[in-house]
Structure 1
Amino acid sequence: MANHKSALKRIRQNEKRRVHNRYYAKTTRNAIRDLRNETDKEEAVKRLPKVVSMIDKLAKKNIIHKNKAANLKSKLAGQLSSL
């Protein structure tokens, strides 16, 4: 267990950030899954900018790597064009 006040604070901060990051990562994963399962092209085209924005925000905050974000966006755009 931590022996310093600052170490205890760091533990609290890390846990709070972990929960926050997990929430946004999971929300984005669900949005990606829903977009991939979408069969209506018009609806998918309307959803794509919102999902891309979510992915960009995760990459900006280093929750996911920027290359992973680029790969996800590329695959989603490719899948959308094949509908």
Structure 2
Amino acid sequence: MANHKSALKRIRRDEAVRLRNRYQHRTTRNAVKRLRSEESKEAAETLLPSVVSMIDRLVKRNIIHANKGSNLKSKLTKHVSAL
């Protein structure tokens, strides 16, 4: 068990940050799935910028690796242009 007041605070903060990261990651994954399942090119083109923005936000906050974000954006852009 933690002995210092700062260690207890750190434990509380880490849990809050972990839950926030999980929520943001899950929300982005659902948006990516929704974009991949989209069959209309117009709808996919309107959805793409928001999904790319979500991915960039995860990369900026180190929730996912920068290369994984780039790969995701590239594959999604290719998918939308191929529709």
TM-score bracket relative to the smaller structure = over 0.9
Q: Please name the residue that 2:40 is paired with.
A: 40
Give, in angstroms, the shift of residue 25 of structure 1: 0.5
Q: Please name the residue that 1:76 is paired with.
A: 76
Q: Please name the residue that 2:13 is paired with.
A: 13
Equivalent AA in structure 2 for residue 29 of structure 1: R
Do structure 1's residue 22 and structure 2's residue 22 form an aligned pair?
yes
Give, in angstroms, the shift of residue 46 of structure 1: 0.4
Please, what TM-score do these two structures have when normalized by structure 2?
A: 0.97
Partners in 2 of 1:29 and 1:13 — Cα distance?
24
User: Structure 1: which 4+ aligned runs deviate by more than 4 Å?
Assistant: none
Q: Please name the residue that 1:59 is paired with.
A: 59
Partners in 1 of 2:77 and 2:16 — Cα distance?
33
Partners in 2 of 1:21 and 1:63 — Cα distance?
7
Equivalent AA in structure 2 for residue 3 of structure 1: N
Equivalent AA in structure 2 for residue 72 of structure 1: L
Give, in angstroms, the shift of residue 82 of structure 1: 1.4
Equivalent AA in structure 2 for residue 74 of structure 1: S
Give, in angstroms, the shift of residue 3 of structure 1: 1.1
Give, in angstroms, the shift of residue 56 of structure 1: 0.3
State the percentage of identical aligned residues. Answer: 63
